[in-house]
Amino acid sequence: MKFQCDRQTLSDILNNVSRGVSAKSNVPVLEGLLLTLKNGILTVTAYDLELGIRASFPVRMESEGEIILPGRLFTEMVRRFEGETVLFEADEKFTVNIRCGDSLFDVIGMDANDYPQLPEISDYQTFAIDKVTFSSMVRQTLFAVAKDESRPVHKGSKITLGNGEIEIASVDGYRLALRREKMDSDGDASFIVPGKTLAEVQKLIAGDEEGQIGISLARKYIVFSVDGYTFISRLLEGEFLNYKETISFEGKVTVQVNARKVIDCLERAGLLIRSNVKSYIICKIEEDAISFHCRTALGKFYDRIPAAVTGEGLSIGFDISYLLDALRNSETDELRFEIVGPLSPMKIVPVKGDSFLFIVTPVRIKGEFSV
């Protein structure tokens, strides 16, 4: 196997594909990248048995072949080269010679036959969605994906296609994030994609120029195709929360506020809250304002911002990090809080439109305090 290629092109592809390399595995090949060279096209593949990432690009080929190289090592090696052209040669004993400028590495690879095959996808539905829109939808819902293993199905986001819309929902037992957009599609589908997969796809397309991302959906797998990259992921199975019931309530108290002012206020309060200690913020709804209180081992905090309030005043407590996550991902200037009571979930929606909806579950307040 022997070829030459542009160092920067190879480095960019390795940086993106290596995200699918297993960080720590008892199977050494899963920590490697599979390089396949055929007909002048080099294909780089990473696969940790859950998520596979693959990309191809043309090189100046002298002889074809396949080999596995340590993923992190090869990626860092190419990134740190100073020359413009990489010269790559591997022999039948898997010894690899890699040159760039005045730098030279000799490394030991592994037999490509030991690498697991990516799933073969057949009998699938296909869809396409604007990259910028999909990136925004994932970003606004990913924070609410569950982190623990108690409900594995909630470690992913549920994507629903139908009636000319796409909807993404994430829940973790304490909060819910829902985002919907119009979409040109005749098909209907509902599936659950691991949060890890969506995070990697979103990283690749975040801030990118306009274009389409292709989605191919099979019974157990999903394929995302964008800008020459292919992501193949196993779908999650199980019963996802029936969030339609969760979001159906109407608030007895509504509060219209400026999102940036609330975020700034909570970030000030956060100066007294240590990340390793569960602390809550008390939100007191008043006639024309909302005030925020917290008390920790470091001291006490109070602040007040104007708000348009309808309904009777009340006090409600939240985990400050959960509330901040929702507000930071609102991406709008004006928000409306809808509250039923001090122990009921709070709904956060935009003042105009219905593109997103967040729900945050309150905590029980142990007692008021004066400042």
> 103: domain CATH number?
3.10.150.10
Q: According to the model, what pLDDT value does residue 279 have?
A: 73
**Cα–Cα distances in Å, from 361 out to 29, 188, 323?**
43, 31, 9
Domain identity same for 253 and 239: no
Q: Which range has the worst mean pLDDT, 140-144, 183-187, 297-301, 303-307?
A: 183-187
Residues 6+ apart with CB under 8 A from 225: 213, 214, 215, 216, 231
Read off the pLDDT band of 367 (50, 70, 90): low
Q: Domain boundary at 190, 220, 244, which?
A: 244
Instruction: Judge contact between 21 and 45, C-beta under 8 A.
Output: no
The packing angle between helices 131-141 and 195-205, to 10°, is 140
Domain identity same for 233 and 253: no
In a domain, 209, yes or no: yes
Q: Domain boundary at 244, 275, 306, which?
A: 244
User: Rounded distance, CA 371 to CA 356, Å?
Assistant: 35
Residues 6+ apart with CB under 8 A from 84: 6, 7, 8, 100, 101
The dihedral sign for the CA sequence 309, 315, 317, 321: positive
Domain identity same for 213 and 261: no
DSSP three-state, residue 93: coil
Distance of CA 63 to the CA centre of its chain: 39
How much is the average pLDDT of 347-370? Answer: 85
- Domain membership of residue 214 as a residue range: 125-244
Domain identity same for 109 and 220: no
In a domain, 370, yes or no: no
In a domain, 369, yes or no: no
For residue 140, pLDDT beyond 70: yes
In a domain, 120, yes or no: no
Domain identity same for 44 and 77: yes
Classify residue 173 by its DSSP letter. Answer: S
Residues of the chain with pLDDT > 70: what percent? 97
**Torsion, CA 213, CA 217, CA 223, CA 228, rounded to 10:** -40
Domain identity same for 82 and 137: no
70-102 per-position pLDDT tens digit: 999 999 999 999 999 999 999 999 999 999 999
Counting the structural domains of the chain, the total is 3
User: Rounded distance, CA 215 to CA 212, Å?
Assistant: 10
Domain identity same for 258 and 216: no
197-223 per-position pLDDT tens digit: 999 999 988 766 678 999 999 989 999
In a domain, 178, yes or no: yes
Domain identity same for 227 and 253: no
250-280 per-position pLDDT tens digit: 889 999 999 999 999 999 999 998 766 667 8
Which neighbouring-strand residues pair with 35? 44, 67
Domain identity same for 258 and 346: yes
Cite the DSSP H helix spans in the chain: 7-17, 71-80, 131-141, 195-205, 243-246, 259-269, 320-328
pTM over 0.75: yes
Which of 268, 321, 309, 311 lies closest to 292 in space, CA to CA? 268
In a domain, 330, yes or no: yes
Instruction: Judge contact between 272 and 296, C-beta under 8 A.
Output: yes
In a domain, 27, yes or no: yes
251-281 burial by CB neighbour count: b if 16+ within 10 A, else e? bebbbebebeebeebbeebbebbeeeeebbb
How many C-beta atoms surround the C-beta of residue 209 within 10 A? 8
How much is the average pLDDT of 215-243? Answer: 94
For residue 68, pLDDT beyond 90: yes
Q: According to the model, what pLDDT value does residue 371 have?
A: 41
Q: Domain boundary at 244, 262, 278, which?
A: 244
In a domain, 299, yes or no: yes
How many C-beta atoms surround the C-beta of residue 315 within 10 A? 15
Domain identity same for 33 and 105: yes
Which neighbouring-strand residues pair with 314? 285
Domain identity same for 199 and 103: no
Which of 142, 111, 126, 141 lies closest to 35 in space, CA to CA? 111
Domain identity same for 240 and 140: yes
User: Rounded distance, CA 219 to CA 217, Å?
Assistant: 7
Which structure tokens are listed for 341?
Answer: 């009571």
